[in-house]
């Protein structure tokens, strides 16, 4: 399993691709990849992105 990028912009791209292609929810993605959901949301909030449950992506 690849390590998610550290850079927030690259992480955003990685996470949105995973959500689009592989996982129906953020919760499932975080569980499957061993990522802390709260930490992920906080990191992406630093670059003004938040999770949109209806679209299953960060925007």
Tell me: pLDDT of 52 over 80. Answer: yes
**What 3-state DSSP class applies to 57?**
strand
Tell me: pLDDT of 58 over 80. Answer: yes
Alpha-carbon span 50 to 32, nearest angstrom: 20
- For residue 52, what are the β-bridge partners? 57
The reported pLDDT for the residue numbered 21 is 98
The reported pLDDT for the residue numbered 2 is 76
Q: Among residues 8, 3, 5, 7, which one has the least CA distance to residue 50?
A: 8
- Segment 14-46, tens digit of pLDDT: 999 999 999 999 999 999 999 999 999 999 999
Position 7 confidence tier, pLDDT thresholds 50, 70, 90: very high
Burial class of residue 56, CB neighbours in 10 A (0-12, 13-18, 19+): middle
The reported pLDDT for the residue numbered 48 is 98
């Amino acid at each position: 399993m690849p390590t998610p990028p550290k850079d927030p912009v690259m992480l955003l791209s990685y996470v949105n691709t995973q959500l689009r292609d592989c996982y129906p929810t953020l919760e499932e993605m975080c569980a499957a990849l061993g990522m802390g959901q709260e930490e992920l949301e906080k990191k992406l909030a630093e670059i003004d992105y938040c999770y949109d449950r209806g679209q299953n992506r960060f925007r």
